[in-house]
Amino acid sequence: MSRFSILILLGSLFSGVAVAQSSADSLMIKKISDEVFMNGQAYNNLRYLCKKVGPRLSGSPGAALAVEQTARMLREAGADTVYLQPCMVPQWVRGEKETGKAVLTNGKSIPLNIVSLGNAVGTPASGITGGILEVKSFQELEALGADKVKGKIVFYNFRMDPRHINTFRAYGEAGVYRSQGPSKAAALGAVGVIVRTLSPVLDDNPHTGATRYDEDKPKIPAVAISTNGAVELSGLISAGKVRSVYIKTNCKMLEDVLSYNVVGELRGSEHPDEVITVGGHLDSWDLAEGAHDDGTGCMQSIEIIRSFKALGIRPKRSVRAVMFMNEENGLRGGTKYAEIARTESKKFIMALESDAGGFTPRGFGFSASAAQKSRILSWQPLFRQYGTLEFNEGGGGADIGPLRPLGTALIGLNPDSQRYMDLHHAKTDVFEAVSERELNLGTVVMAAMVYLVSEYGL
Amino acid sequence: MSRFSILILLGSLFSGVAVAQSSADSLMIKKISDEVFMNGQAYNNLRYLCKKVGPRLSGSPGAALAVEQTARMLREAGADTVYLQPCMVPQWVRGEKETGKAVLTNGKSIPLNIVSLGNAVGTPASGITGGILEVKSFQELEALGADKVKGKIVFYNFRMDPRHINTFRAYGEAGVYRSQGPSKAAALGAVGVIVRTLSPVLDDNPHTGATRYDEDKPKIPAVAISTNGAVELSGLISAGKVRSVYIKTNCKMLEDVLSYNVVGELRGSEHPDEVITVGGHLDSWDLAEGAHDDGTGCMQSIEIIRSFKALGIRPKRSVRAVMFMNEENGLRGGTKYAEIARTESKKFIMALESDAGGFTPRGFGFSASAAQKSRILSWQPLFRQYGTLEFNEGGGGADIGPLRPLGTALIGLNPDSQRYMDLHHAKTDVFEAVSERELNLGTVVMAAMVYLVSEYGL
């Protein structure tokens, strides 16, 4: 927790202003909470999104169906206006079964539990074969140099550090191997890359996720291996038992296709030209139902509209629930939303994103001006009874980031992070991994923040 | 959150004492945290307890095996002494398949998804049959009076209130129907009782749990029905479609048998006669693996011993990890532990129990003297980076409660409560429902509290 959060905690406890306004606001937030816990539809809607729509990578039939179905949910929730924002998105396809094996010095081979990284190129039809080179860091790779790397398959076996209490910190540290690893290896002549799955737990589920090729480097195939698989492969390498590794993948990037952000709006009663954006991203990886990533953020945003309507709350400022398209492998939806925002004669005062899972909310992160933060700080006591205590400096979300140059205060919901990385981008990110109460509690504090900004502005 | 917790929060932030001592303590707690997250055995031990031992209701073969295996775990963890405290425990057995059905006015019948409540008597071999009487409260039951209740099966259809953010509050409100419902119905002549499962979610898993018969009332059979089953049955009753209900159960209370608390101790280096107790309960309901209830509390307590030994921490005061027997349906282990404590020439300065699930820790509850609380309060900032912020008035645990008359400060670990009641006392309380990181994080803050008390006393 940053120093800022402590300041906020102190500030809020002593703020006379907060105490003065807290009674009526506290009652209203309790009403919202009761409505969400008694009649909430987010969980049912999430079941639909996960089980009837399913995986919805940008450009896929699932994504198209998700656009249609969340537009329906927003209409049913009671949004005044529901519309689509067209945007072109990349269309990456995994193709048929991906296989890998380690050929051992005794002539036998063992299968490698792999999946291609998102946006990666596939192998030739005959696959790729190479000696394996295990490294734990870029420094180690670069110290080996082109002579030793050339023609090899590089295995980045960087373990997510379990000592970080916030798993996003460990994810940030380890994530560079997934995003930059292929190009850094290719620069030294590697023919392929295997990245240890970004997960703190040992299991057999490889996690995908986007990689990013440097345009001036050869694009080489890149896969993730499960954590158990990484441990096994590393053991075999240490024992000198691996002769070569074979990988065959079939993924490729097709032409961009048309897709959409989905927007549902409640028009502000007093300041309709001040816009509050609340959302999550609608696309998911192809391997997962995208329950926590990020079905929950989308369903929570729709539920805010529904609960306001159900309670007859007419927000003073306009509230838009936005399902952003293409967060996972392009961010085209978030970029398009900000691009359109720039052309609208409105003020985009605040944007709140929920894209860290539908877990119990612990706090918020803020990227905002001092004046904006000061006002938000005065509301902090209202969140206490919902256990949402940690107000941290810095935060927002990938999709709302492009709004920052417009002066928009960005807020990220920070749920408890312990379980997220276990299932993130893996086939285990399914509806059953979501707790209805945790999901609802997240909605409540998001709705409270939206309500307060809609009442008082920023 | 109570006013006390806010005071603690404030007090701790401004306490010069806390700041002065926090640096070395903070480093030591971080070492413990790193050890637990890097090399922790609680999760592996829990897997063993759930999958190799399994259900372990007091007096069952599973309970006997659990005693043996946790004694082994404590020895392997490095406890100086491991010993058993004999105590007699009740032996309640469920018997063979339990069945229930609602006979409808159209002559058909539908099955009722039921399980006997713990400690309940069974039905006669021929089962019981009666008209069904649905009530939502004791007031409603008593208003009906003996004339209408006589010969009937009473159906307590009290829904756990989802509006309480802390699910233990809702559990407390609804729990009286499970514990007192049978005797209150029997007092008016009822022949059996069906209690709606204590769970905030709608599903098909009936939850068991102890009921308590008044000695001066007839003991009548008592079952829980799943939440979905309760909704269905209520609908049929409202529609006037239920002619009668049939229940057949086979449970009974046998003679008391010998069992044990399991104790593992690290002897204090400076004040060995001051004892810190940390524990959970070893018994579980017969339907469940008892993962969250309370395998996690037991495994966390063992892990504290292991991590201290691994780090070479020699506590100044004696630390005892205790697996209490028979929390679920008798509390004989906790009672026996305090009874023996009274005969020991030692000071039982603090007892900490983890019996609210192995979820992310949110805080502690304290039942202690003002002086004890004041000291604990000074440590509060040390827990901040582990997200354990809520220090609340009141708390402890069922098993450590009997120590209170000895002046022992009682502390209960308060994990996030959102998911606990979904699986509490049900067959869904299995190893797979536990997150390794959440379990470990709970251990860390428990270990930190034990460490601080062992260093500074209370």
Q: Is A1 at the interface with chain B, CB within 8 A?
A: yes
In single-letter form, the type of residue at position B445 comes to V
Using the predicted structure, report yes or no on whether residue A20 has a pLDDT greater than 70.
Answer: no
Mean pLDDT of chain A: 95
Q: What is the Cα–Cα distance from A299 to A301, expressed in whole angstroms?
A: 5
Task: Give the pLDDT confidence score for residue B7 in this predicted structure.
Answer: 39
Which residues fall within 8 angstroms of residue B200, CB to CB, at 6 or more apart?
A436, A437, B160, B162, B167, B170, B421, B422
**Parallel, antiparallel, or unpaired for β A361-367 and A317-324?**
unpaired
Taking an 8 Å cut-off on Cβ atoms, the answer to whether B387 and A34 are in contact is no
Average the pLDDT over B167-186 and give the result: 98
Q: Report the run of H or E that residue B164 belongs to, with start and end.
A: none
ipTM (interface predicted TM): 0.94
Task: Give the pLDDT confidence score for residue A14 in this predicted structure.
Answer: 37
pLDDT single digits (tens) B291-306: 999 999 999 999 999 9
Write the residue in A163, A390, A435 that is nearest to B418 by C-beta.
A435
Cβ-Cβ contacts under 8 Å, A435 against chain B: 418-419, 422
Sheet holding A81-93, edge to edge: A81-93, A252-266, A317-324, A271-281, A347-353, A409-415, A361-367, A390-393
Which residues fall within 8 angstroms of residue B14, CB to CB, at 6 or more apart?
none
Average the pLDDT over B314-339 and give the result: 98
In single-letter form, the type of residue at position A205 comes to N
Average the pLDDT over B193-222 and give the result: 98
Using the predicted structure, report yes or no on whether residue A5 has a pLDDT greater than 90.
Answer: no
Residue for token pair 């190009």: A183
CA distances from B76 to B82, B263, B265, B431 (A): 10, 13, 12, 21
Q: Which of A388, A416, A443 to mutate to test the interface with B (most CBs of B within 10 A)?
A: A416
Q: Is the Cβ–Cβ distance between A285 and A198 less than 8 Å? A: no
In single-letter form, the type of residue at position A2 comes to S
Task: Give the pLDDT confidence score for residue A22 in this predicted structure.
Answer: 75
* Residues above pLDDT 70, as percent of chain A: 95
Nearest residue in chain B measured CA to CA from A39: B162
Which letter does DSSP use for residue A52 in this model? Answer: I
CATH topology of domain A3-89+257-456: Aminopeptidase (3.40.630)
Using the predicted structure, report yes or no on whether residue A18 has a pLDDT greater than 70.
Answer: no
In single-letter form, the type of residue at position A10 comes to L
Domain ranges of chain A: 3-89+257-456, 95-250
Average the pLDDT over B118-144 and give the result: 98
Q: How many residues does chain A have?
A: 458
* Residues above pLDDT 90, as percent of chain A: 95
Q: What is the Cα–Cα distance from B128 to B84, expressed in whole angstroms?
A: 42
Q: Is B35 at the interface with chain A, CB within 8 A?
A: no
In 3D space, the residue among B263, B408, B409, B267 whose CA is nearest the CA of residue B333 turns out to be B263
Cβ-Cβ contacts under 8 Å, A391 against chain B: none
A190–chain B nearest CA distance, Å: 32
B96 pLDDT band, cuts 50/70/90, is confident
Average the pLDDT over A233-239 and give the result: 98
Q: Is B88 at the interface with chain A, CB within 8 A?
A: no
A363–chain B nearest CA distance, Å: 10
**Secondary-structure class of domain B3-90+257-456 per CATH:** alpha beta
CATH number of this structure's domain A95-250: 3.50.30.30
Surface of A (374-433) touching B: CB under 8 A: 384-387, 389-390, 416, 418-419, 422
A194 pLDDT band, cuts 50/70/90, is very high
Q: Is B10 at the interface with chain A, CB within 8 A?
A: yes
Taking an 8 Å cut-off on Cβ atoms, the answer to whether B437 and A419 are in contact is yes
Which residues fall within 8 angstroms of residue B309, CB to CB, at 6 or more apart?
B77, B78, B79, B266
- For residue A21, count other CB atoms closer than 10 A to its CB: 17
Handedness of CA B18, B21, B22, B28 (dihedral sign): negative
CB pairs under 8 A between A and B: 79
Taking an 8 Å cut-off on Cβ atoms, the answer to whether A165 and B201 are in contact is no
- For residue B67, count other CB atoms closer than 10 A to its CB: 21
What is the signed CA dihedral for A303, A305, A309, A314, rounded to 10 degrees? 140
Q: Is A201 at the interface with chain B, CB within 8 A?
A: yes
B22–chain A nearest CA distance, Å: 16
Q: How many residues does chain B have?
A: 458
CA distances from A9 to A329, A382, A418 (A): 37, 12, 23
Q: Is A4 at the interface with chain B, CB within 8 A?
A: no
Q: What is the Cα–Cα distance from A282 to A60, expressed in whole angstroms?
A: 12
Surface of A (165-184) touching B: CB under 8 A: 165, 167
Cβ-Cβ contacts under 8 Å, B445 against chain A: none
| DSSP per-residue codes, B278-343 | EEEE----TTS--IIIIIHHHHHHHHHHHHHHHHT---SEEEEEEEES-TTTT-HHHHHHHHHHHH
Using the predicted structure, report yes or no on whether residue A414 has a pLDDT greater than 50.
Answer: yes
Q: What would the two tokens of residue A270 be?
A: 């007093």
Q: Is B265 at the interface with chain A, CB within 8 A?
A: no
Q: What is the Cα–Cα distance from A344 to A291, expressed in whole angstroms?
A: 32
